[in-house]
Amino acid sequence: MSYRDSKDQENVHTDFRERMTYGDYLQLDQLLESQDRLSSHHDEMLFIIIHQVSELWMKLILHELWAAIDAINKGDLQAAFKMLARVSNIQNQIIHAWDVLSTLTPSEYIEFRDDLGQASGFQSYQYRMIEFALGYKTPHVMKIYEKDEVLHKKLKEAYQSPSIYDVAIKKLAEAGFDINPSLLNRDYTEMYHADESVKEAWKKVYLDVDKYWDLYQLAEKLVDIEDSLQQWRFRHMKTVERIIGHKIGTGGSSGVGYLKKVLDHRFFPELWDIRTHL
């Protein structure tokens, strides 16, 4: 050991009898004891950890999305850009998680699949709130959460709130674009559908980037997020197909069929449409 290494170690704190440790701060005891397997199969640990890690990343996505919506509402677009860029990077982490889960083979999964009962990723309430924050509102999924009044209330609030696209459209109106008035005070529980006035506004933004630089950046940040979400959905669908084929999902959904169907949905339709018309 060199003299420098010896001196460095002398300065390391070792007495934590009355101090907070790294493990204390992160509550690692609780976190690392939360992987309770229902079977004795080796690969169930992989299955649990992948989904738990994804839920943690989704918690951070929601933290950033809600803050970005608030920042856009307040006109602080630069702060929103930072948050949305972070969301895109988090999404990349979740996308790559499917690469790890896809090492689970069909033969391995069927050894413990029945132990899951009706539990399914389809029931992920955080994923639903991400969809709500991006404008994908589906009323039937709310029934899944009725048994938990506190959670149901939280989801209902998110369901009734404007999406990030709703607040982006309001920014277009504030910038002087002629936006359909019915969009500015609409029922936010309704699924958003493409509107010609919004398409024309975004088209003008893209044709005069210098004048509308902030709105242009906002549009591209939104495209980044939708692009990544669709990549996540695609990797989800292919991983499910690889592991269980076209079986019905444990939660009762059509499995691969459902996952293929949602790939057709567009969160920010005009931002994709204008690319054809520029």
Supply the pTM of this predicted model: 0.91
Q: What is the pLDDT of residues 17-49, one digit of tens each?
A: 778 899 999 999 999 999 999 999 999 999 999
Query: What stretch of H or E contains 258?
Result: helix 256-262
Cα 17–23–28 angle (5° rounding)?
A: 135
Q: Is 250 annotated to bind ligand? A: yes
Q: Are 256 and 238 contacting, i.e. CB atoms less than 8 angstroms apart?
A: no
Closest CA to 107 of 257, 243, 259, 212: 243
DSSP assignment of 28-70: HHHHHT----SSS-TTHHHHHHHHHHHHHHHHHHHHHHHHHHH
Which CATH architecture best describes the domain 42-113+121-275?
Up-down Bundle (1.20)
Q: Is 186 annotated to bind ligand? A: no
Q: Is 268 annotated to bind ligand? A: no
What per-residue confidence (pLDDT) applies to 2?
52
Considering only CA atoms, give the Rg of the chain: 23
Q: Is 188 annotated to bind ligand? A: no
In the block, tokens 């999924």 appear at 141
Q: Is 113 annotated to bind ligand? A: yes
Q: Is 69 annotated to bind ligand? A: no
Q: Is 109 annotated to bind ligand? A: yes
What per-residue confidence (pLDDT) applies to 5?
57
Q: Is 193 annotated to bind ligand? A: no
Domain extents for the chain? 42-113+121-275
What per-residue confidence (pLDDT) applies to 259?
87
Identify the burial level of 80 via C-beta atoms within 10 angstroms of its C-beta, where 0-12 means exposed, 13-18 middle and 19 or more buried.
Answer: buried
